[in-house]
Amino acid sequence: MHQHLQPQRLIGAGLLARNARRRGLQVPSHVKTSLAPGSRVVTDYLGAAGLLAPLAELGFDVVGCGDGAAVYLRDIWPSNTEIAEVVAGSVSADQFAARYRDVFSGNPVWSAIEGTGGTRYGWEADSTYIQEPPFFADLGREAKPLADIAGARALLVLGDSITTDHISPAGSIPADSPAGRYLLERGVARAGFNSYGSRRGNHEVMMRGTFANIRIKNLLAAGTEGGVTEHQPSGERMPVFDAAVRYRGEGVPLIVLAGQEYGSGSSRDWAAKGPALLGVKAVIAQSYERIHRANLVGMGVLPLQFQAGESAAALGLSGRERFDVAGLAGGVTPGQQVTVTAAAGDGAVSRFTATVRVDTALEAEYLASTWLPEASGAEQQEDPLDTSCSVE
């Protein structure tokens, strides 16, 4: 059991083991058992309660029951009262004080680490693992007013079932990717790249990894796979990150077009943080995974939904249009309808209605408090899409 839980739960587990042993139960051989508490205090109070022995006795043995009588969980499950009584008699503040008084003693690795003073973390400019994120840079007391989106370009046009791993992969970092080049330029050898997941404390790596999954297919760059897009109106193909940098320099906001179940899979915060930092102002999808939709709102990315039966393909959108979203100025309300205008290069203009998937009044407040104004890179003192290679 790998636990960082309250003593009540660990005591409860010990009592469950004790009761199971009293009834002659053992653990099946295919079940891996271990006791790896997050603190040495756990063994103190389990020992004081006499519960270490029954836990150890369960081991890795094959299941075996006593005289042949059925034993149900209700027969061995300890009551809350019994747990409370044992906790009161075996868990004490002195145990924690004794263990944590010299928490670094006996561990040469921890003892060798030199700490720094102060109450704030000292950011290291040359760290490739941890960098100060830009989310709270120049954060004022007043929320920035919501504004209509004008002249946006589609960074990607995606199909159905785009997962959070497609949006923000957690696996290996290819050497020829924007994130890989970033690390190489800072003296990190290929063998030391580690993974996107391990470097999630560095927004420079995570932004470069956004939409960089080797299996993602961007319909805007047909025939490609793996984080490639087509810059508009030039038509040049390039990595998604490079296109975002270029659009930022041109003062162009971005959107993403998607199909059904956008953001499915595991909840992953960088799947919302990354697009926000790349300059994505809105996603227009046929439907959303519940948690990812909420994460987009929390990062100031507006989730819009096509009307039933509509999609980018059904509306004849190629993703090469310029997009305007009207009806956002002054704030949004849950379920509000907005008008999206798509203007093609040949002068053709199409309009369609989308639903604002801000589902509660509180989410509307979140969106207003996290909304990032449209601005070119030149207007920002500290551009989060910094492509410089220098190391301070």
Q: Which two tokens stand for residue 376?
A: 């070119």
Give the number of other Cβ atoms within 10 Å of residue 25's Cβ.
Answer: 17
What pTM was computed for the model?
0.71
Angle at 298 between CA 168 and CA 194, to 5 degrees: 25
**Bridge partners, residue 283, by sequence:** 256, 303
pLDDT given for residue 391 in this prediction: 33
Nearest Cα neighbor of 298 from 325, 328, 267 is: 267
Could you tell me the residue ranges of all domains in the chain? 7-108, 137-379
Q: What is the pLDDT along the chain (392 residues), one digit of tens a residue?
A: 444 457 898 899 889 989 999 999 988 888 878 777 767 788 888 889 998 888 888 873 333 444 767 878 998 899 999 999 999 999 999 999 988 887 777 778 877 888 788 888 889 999 999 999 888 777 777 777 789 999 999 999 999 999 999 999 999 999 999 999 999 999 999 999 999 999 999 999 999 999 999 999 999 999 999 999 999 999 999 999 999 999 999 999 999 999 999 999 988 999 999 999 999 999 999 999 999 999 999 999 999 999 999 999 999 999 999 999 999 998 999 999 999 999 999 999 999 999 999 999 999 988 887 765 443 333 333 455 655 443 33
Angstrom distance (rounded) from CA 164 to CA 278: 16
pLDDT given for residue 388 in this prediction: 45
Side chain identity, residue 389: C
Rounded to 5 degrees, φ, ψ at 203 are: -65, -25
Angstrom distance (rounded) from CA 182 to CA 201: 15
Architecture of domain 137-379: Alpha-Beta Barrel (3.20)
Q: Which two tokens stand for residue 388?
A: 């410089």
